[in-house]
Amino acid sequence: MNMYNPGWPATLTHDRVSLRPYRRSDATHWSAVRRRNEGWLAHWEPASGASWHEANSPAGFRTMYRDLRRSAKTGATWPFAVCYDGELVGGMTVGSITRRAFCSAHVGYWIDEQHAGKGIAPTALALICDHAFTSGRLHRIEVNIQPHNTPSRRVVEKLGFREEAMYKAYLYINNQWRDHIGFGMTVEDVTGGGVLARWLKSGKD
């Protein structure tokens, strides 16, 4: 475990869903998945200044990988690959990690459209929350989502995140400043053995 980043590195698993640190060898597969999902993902993600094809190339992955590894070493980030039956099908990054009196972080995620609707994203986010509130020594997790991003909103709603705020003109996406809804959860909100256990008990409706 990184003394500057409690909780990292880690591998988290439930049934067919797992999260692990990215690997350099993920470049080709990551690029293929991301390029195939341009129509599914580009609406929700800030542009890098390059085209989608270029930003999501194997070279683009290697640049991202270096940046994320550097950020993880300083304690600011946990960058996870999301896998289903061992195959990379998405990403989930715990970022803006702040310690001391705040002990908070933001989570962002994406899932391959071909694997949407299988419960992968809520399972992965539940694993992240349980890890963050235990080994990660965090007190609060936040997720910020565009109001019309219904699939992502359903993920946090299933897990019991609170809708807390409306952030006007929060991120510049697709040539426009986009509003986001802020959702939050603290360790005090977690009962019944953890976020994952609570969701599984609910029948994953």
**108 lies in which domain range?**
12-201
Q: What is the pLDDT of residues 45-88, one digit of tens each?
A: 887 778 999 999 999 999 999 999 999 999 999 999 999 999 99
With a CB cutoff of 8 Å and minimum separation 6, the contacts of 64 are: none
Global pTM value: 0.94
62 within a domain of the structure (yes/no):
yes
1 within a domain of the structure (yes/no):
no
Please give the mean pLDDT across all residues of the chain: 93
For the residues 109-132, what does the mean pLDDT come to? 96
- Helix (H) / strand (E) element for 155: namely helix 150-159
Task: Report d(CA 29, CA 5) in Å as an integer.
Answer: 28
Q: What is the CA radius of gyration of the chain?
A: 16
Pairing of strands 140-145, 176-186: antiparallel
Q: What is the CATH number of the domain that holds 16?
A: 3.40.630.30
The number of domains in the chain is 1
Q: What is the pLDDT of residues 13-48, one digit of tens each?
A: 999 999 999 999 999 999 999 999 999 999 888 877
Tokens, residue 10: 């880690």
70 within a domain of the structure (yes/no):
yes
Residue 141 contacts residue 184 (beta carbons within 8 Å): yes
SS (H, E, C) 53-68: HHHCCHHHHHHHHHHH
2 within a domain of the structure (yes/no):
no
Q: Quick check: bond before 147 cis, omega within 30?
A: no
Q: What is the pLDDT of residues 178-191, one digit of tens each?
A: 999 999 999 999 98
84 within a domain of the structure (yes/no):
yes
Per-residue pLDDT, 1: 52
Task: Report d(CA 201, CA 37) in Å as an integer.
Answer: 32
Pairing of strands 140-145, 104-111: parallel
Mapping DSSP to helix (H, G, I), strand (E, B) and coil, where does residue 172 land?
A: strand
Tokens, residue 109: 């995620």
Q: How would residue 137 be classed by pLDDT, with cut points 50, 70 and 90? A: very high
Buried-state track 131-162, b at ≥16 Cβ within 10 A, e below 16 = bbbeebebbbbbbbbbeeeeebbebbebbbbe
**175's torsion region: left (phi>0), alpha (psi -120 to 50) or beta?**
left
